Structure formats: structure tokens, C-alpha cells
Chain A
Amino acid sequence: MVDPITTRRFGFRCVFFGLCAAIIFLKMLPLSTIPRSVPGPDLLFCLTAVWIMRRPRWAPVGLIVLVHLIADVLFLRPIGLWPAISLLGYEYLRRKAAGPTEIAIPLEVGIAAATFAVMVLANALFQFVFGVGQPTFLTLIYHVIVTVIAYPLMIAFSHFVVRVRRARPTDVDGSGIAA
């Protein structure tokens, strides 16, 4: 006898992991090896942030760290730095989302954008201090901008396709407290 809330939560955690794996997989396809001046968006951040802002329990810390570590290893990034920084960023978002008032979407995009920019900056700073080679400042700015553009799309995808929506007060008896 497993209660339905737990089952559903477990199911959506699996979905979260699957989507992250799909993103990593897509990024690794050797479709174009030409370097472009504008880098692609950080979809992993978009997905995680969107889920945290809606259903924090469906994106647990352990899973997030695991996925980001795998991405670090596969993407040839310094191992451990980005997961550490992004974990702090995600915790900040989690606390914002847990507040009593609902956050309107434009405000949410703003918060996510600011958080991501700070994360990227902190990452670059760390890499600079520890003498890890890094891309130019302009590329980083492009990266932030592209990610911010992708963020609302990820909201739409999560809302309409995966049906990850904020728990409403009316949901409480149906799917538990803040599910």
C-alpha cells in the first residue's frame, strides 16, 4: 500500500531524470562541430529552475546534483564547480518559490535570469581564480541572454506537455500539501 501522492511524486522524479538525460543526450549529438559565436541555452538550468519554481518536491536536491555531476563529466567541464554553484542558486529559487505569494511569470523569468547571471558570473570568477581556461566575457553574456530567452519556452513545455503546474490550494486534498 503506497499512497498515491508518493507514487506520483516518484513518477515525476523519474520524468525529471529522463528529461535531463534527454537534454544531455541531445547536446552531445555531433550535429554541428562548427563553433558558433552564440552558444546554446543552458536547458538543464531552465528545466530544473522551472520545476523548482512549480513543484519543488519533484526536483529533489540529490537528483539535481547527480544530473549536474553527470553533465559535468560528459561535457568536459571542471568537475564539481558548476553543481556546487548551481545548487546554491537552485536553493535560492526554491526559497523564493516557497513564499506565501504566487510569483507572476514575468517576475519569475526575471528572478531566474538574475539568479542564472549571478551563477554564471560566480562560475567564471571561480574559474578565473583557479586558473581554468574560460570563454570570453561576451560569450558568457550571450549564453545568459539565450538561456533567458529559452526559459519561458521551458515554462510552456513543462506546463502544457509534462503538466507540471503549481499546486493550487484546491489541490491540497487531492495531491497532498504542496505535493
Chain B
Amino acid sequence: MARERYGQEEYGRPVRRVLIGLLVVILLAVFGVWRIDNPRVERFRAAMIDRIVPSFDWALVPVTRVSRMVDDFQSYSRIYEQNQELRRELQQLKSWREAALQLEQENARLLDLNKVRLNARLTYVTGVVLTDNGSPFRRSVLLNVGARDGVQDGWATMDGLGLVGRISGVGERTSRVILLTDSNSRVPVSIQPSGQKALLIGDNTLAPPVDVADNLEDVRPGDRVVTSGDGKVFPADILVGQIAQGPNGRLRVKLAADYGRLEFLRVLRNPETPVIATTGALIAPDEIPVSAGEAVGASDG
């Protein structure tokens, strides 16, 4: 019996090697398909995640809650200091509240004078964060709202305060948010009060750098950063964060959203989002005169 097995082994080895080679080639082909026909494979991925993740929902939620409770429990030890801190902050906030009230009244008066109406189309749908993505190099979260709730690719996502990211990948019941910190994230922003246009570039850190388009001198640490609405990626004037200066002098944005605790996210409905169905459509329509196949046909005829 033993000899027979060893015999099989000796005979099986080259066959095995060929099979492994074949498997590697197949996997690389899959990678090739992913690279070439990205939107379709990404839709497949979204659909698959949509099938797998909600079935783990029963386990995901309690485990996350328990670990957060442990975190909260640890923070009890610092409760006295926190209390003192909160009191101080409350004092400061009271003065701010006063200022805000006055400004609100003034703003209301001015709006009335101008007959301005706020954009009523910006409604939102709120989702709960289901999962992180496991890779240490990508920054995204999965929400429990999807195509069923009318979510579309490209919509902006924010927590109560600031912009968090952008929907990329929608399943029937889930959708993925690429966070601003992801290294693939690029968001056109404008810096107030100078009104400079800039690009917020995710780089896997909590404070992503900004590339200012023209005048660096006009930008100071502490300036507000809001979305500019350029390229129709996002609606304009969503708060992103504040400018801060990095150790090497590079301008970065301190994000307003609380990235330590992404739990409930708002997905802003934006009916004007252009739909990207194929890779070709990434280029503006007026820049592709005729597709390759039609061009060949035209030259023939």
C-alpha cells in the first residue's frame, strides 16, 4: 500500500506541476480580465459582496458593538479629565452659540432679501457601516444601503459633519464607500475664504494632502475646505475639513468627519451624477469621435 502511494507520488509530480502552472495562468487571466474590463468585474465583485456580507450581518454587528464597548469602557478611566475638558469646551461653545445665533438671524434676513432657495434636491439616505475592507492598503467601508434604496455610483457620503467619501460599487443591498483617505481618492475642493481650487489626494493617512491649483500664498492653515462641485463629482459646498500644515511644509486637510468612528453615514442623493458604464465612457463623449470598430467600418465603406 505504502509503495503504491509513493509510486503515485512519483508519477503524479509532473502532472501536478502542469496543473499548478495551468492554475496560475488561469488566475493571471482573471487578473487580466479584471484589468481590461474593470467596470464589469467590479460590478460582479459588488454583487458577490452583496451576497456574502449581509449573511454575516448577525455576527458583524454584535462583535463590532462588543469591541466598541470595550473601547468605551477603557475610556472610563479618563472620565474625570474628560469631564473637565468638556466643561471648558462647553464654555467656549456657549460664546460660539451666541455668535451663531446672531449670524443665523443675519443670514436669514439676507436670504430673504435675496430670495435665495436652498437646493431641495439634496436629500439623503442613511446607512449603517457593515464592514471595513480587510486590506491594509485600501480605505473603504461597506454600507447596508444599495440599489434597492436607490443608491447610485458616485454619490457623496458624509457623516453628520463632513464629507467621508464617494460611493463606488453598488450591490442590491450593499454599497461601498471609497473613503477620502484611500490612495485612489481624488476630490476637487475649494479653499475658503480665498476660493482657491485644489485637489484633495488620498494617501492612506488621516490627513490627506491637497494640491492647490494656482496661488499657494493665499492658503493658510485653518482655512475651511469644502467641495467645489467641479466636474460634477460632488455637489458643491459640502464641508471637508480644515487646512493644516504637515511637518514637511506640505498642505494637508484635517478632515471634519470623525474617521475613528464611522457608524452611520449619509448618502447624498444627487440625480445629476453621470453614469459610468464602460471604461470608454470615462473619457468625455466629445473626445471620442468614433469607436474603433465603427472607424474600421467607415474606412471600408
List residues of A whose CB falls within 8 A of some B CB: 24-25, 27-37, 39-40, 61, 65, 69-71, 73-81, 83-84, 87-88, 91, 126, 130, 132-136, 139, 143, 177
Contact = CB atoms under 8 A, between A and B. Distances in A.
Nearest to A65: B23
Given A33-B132, A80-B28, 11 more contacts: A28-B134, A30-B262, A33-B262, A34-B206, A65-B23, A75-B138, A79-B45, A80-B32, A83-B27, A87-B23, A143-B136
B131 interface: yes
B139 A73 contact: no
Contacts of B136: 36, 39-40, 139, 143
11 contacts: A31-B67, A61-B19, A71-B134, A74-B52, A74-B53, A75-B138, A78-B35, A80-B27, A80-B31, A87-B23, A134-B137
B257 to A, nearest CB: 10
Most chain A beta-carbon contacts within 10 A, residue among B6, B28, B45, B136 = B136
Consensus secondary structure, chain A interface: loop
A135 B204 contact: yes
Consensus secondary structure, chain B interface: helix
B132 A133 contact: no
B23 A135 contact: no
A75 B141 contact: no
Contacts of A130: 31, 35
Nearest to B181: A35
Nearest to A25: B56
B41 A79 contact: yes
Interface string B165-192: 0000000000010010101100000000
A61 B34 CA distance: 22
Contacts of A65: 23, 27
A43 B129 CA distance: 24
Contacts of A35: 139, 181, 204-206, 259
B132 A30 contact: yes
Nearest to A71: B134
A32 B135 CA distance: 13
B23 A29 contact: no
Interface stretch (B58-66, B114-122, B225-233): B58-66
A84 B20 contact: no
Contact of A32 (B35, B140, B260): B260
B63 A74 contact: no
Interface in B130-161: 130-141
Contacts of A76: 45, 133, 135, 138, 140, 176
A78 B139 contact: no
A73 B260 contact: no
Nearest to B140: A76
A132 B59 CA distance: 33
Given A28-B133, A74-B49, A84 B176 contact: no
B89 to A, nearest CB: 22
Given A65-B27, A78-B34, A84-B27, A29 B60 contact: yes
A132 B35 contact: yes
Most chain A beta-carbon contacts within 10 A, residue among B23, B41, B137, B141 = B137
Contacts of A30: 64, 129-132, 141, 262
A70 B53 CA distance: 12
Contacts of A91: 20
A40 to B, nearest CB: 5
Given A78-B34, A84-B28, A29 B67 contact: yes
Contact of B133 (A69, A74, A143): A74
Contacts of B15: none
B132 A84 contact: no
A28 B61 CA distance: 12
Nearest to A30: B132
A33 B260 contact: yes
